Structure 1
Amino acid sequence: MADEEGASPRELVLEACRRNNTSLLEETLAELAAAAKKAGKKPVEHVAETLNKAADGVGNGCLHVAATYGSYEVLDILLDQEGLEIDEIDRLERDTPLHKAVRYVNSLEKSEWEPVGHPIVDILLDAGCDPRIRNKAKLKPLELVDPRNTTLRSMLQKGEYAMTAGGDVVEEEDDGPTGSASDSD
């Protein structure tokens, strides 16, 4: 079969990330899941393992590649995959996908920061990427931001605060005396 001679699933995933090609990514993920079922493996785990091992020649994983190229739609699909490692470190710069996203925003014209670049960083932060991780140069993503981009700086600062504060900010489950009477028996 000609399919056996073609690109590997990892190569297809990386190509989808480079080109923001959602149909290629979805087709590849479906084929991985089907192959796993056929082989008696758990599809979710097989897909996650393939995505986590997919890397280019310099050690950029699929999220690194998608963030580098500003592939928002592909990031959206990838971040929905259970078991995906979101704070993977590349070999060259020891960057996380969030570092790559900030570099991508910096490469854009100022007029494209808000509509094109910021959503890339935002989706990574929403997925739980850690903005406190430092790369090989000992820089956090915040420290890579163009100083004129105050909105991006603020997004990353809020992300750092949310990670540092952890669950302390939102957990207000205690209903006090006006809460449920189920413990009054």
Structure 2
Amino acid sequence: MSDDNQGASKNEQLLAAAREDNEDLILELFEEGGFDINYQDGLGNTALHYAASHGSTIVLEHILEHEECDVDPINRLERATPLHLAVRLDDPELRKEVVDSLLEAGADTYIKDKNGDTAADLVSGGDPEILELIRKARAQASIAREDVVDDDDDEPGSGTGSEYED
């Protein structure tokens, strides 16, 4: 383990691994256990928030694969999810990769931050690629909700999912 992280709790090391995209550290933590994948620091940020906002793609994938990972934690300062932070990344390729990973993991595109903005509202310059990824994720989520609807009563009009239309 690097000297920088000696004395830090496993949860603090997890946050550091996410900020630094340190795959060795995250794999070591996963092997040892004893940490909370959804641990929030004083600002309410989780490792997923840091991985998303720093474009730490390697560590991001490991976090998302963890079975207890909450893909939509909300931080305290901005009431932002990792998806809110990812759409703000400056590098277009990195932004697309991080947003795509979060959406594939089931990130909720309808959560609003403290200003009432969804991640789609924050897409810089109306980036068409990111907006298309979000549109597709919303369509998939709508289809998935319709698949779950229990339509045993055979009444017409039930289970249409119309309340989810944009």
Structure 1: unaligned runs, 5 residues or longer:
36-46, 170-185
Root-mean-square deviation over aligned CA pairs: 1.8
Deviations 1:20-48 (A, max 9, x none): 0111011012111xx6xxxxxxxxxxx5x
The equivalences for 1:104-123 within 5 A come to 104=89, 108=90, 112-113=91-92, 115-123=93-101
Give the structure with the higher percent helix. 1
C-alpha separation in 2, matches of 1:119 and 1:72: 8
Residue by residue, what CA displacement relative to the aligned partner does 1:51-106 show, whole Å, maximum 9, x if unpaired? 11x223311111111101001110100111111111111111111111111122xx
Distance (whole Å) between structure 1 residues aligned to residue 29 and residue 115 of structure 2: 35
CA contact (8 A) 2:79 2:113 kept: yes
Q: 1:181 is matched with which residue?
A: none
Calculate percent identity across the aligned residue pairs: 36
User: Does 2:42 correspond to 1:57?
Assistant: yes
Which structure 2 residues correspond to residues 6-155 of structure 1 after superposition, within 5 A?
6-32=7-33, 47=35, 50-52=36-38, 54-104=39-89, 108=90, 112-113=91-92, 115-155=93-133
Q: Tell me which amino acid in the other structure corresponds to 1:51.
A: I
1:148 Cα shift? 4.2
| Structure 1 consecutive aligned stretches of length 4 or more whose deviation exceeds 4 Å | none
TM-score by length of 1: 0.72
Instruction: Give the one of 142, 148, 164 matched to 2:142.
Output: 164
Aligned partners of 2:18 and 2:59 also within 8 Å: yes
Measured after TM superposition, the shift of residue 126 of structure 1 is: 0.3
Aligned AA (1:62): A
Q: Which amino acid letter does the alignment assign opposite residue 17 of structure 1?
A: A
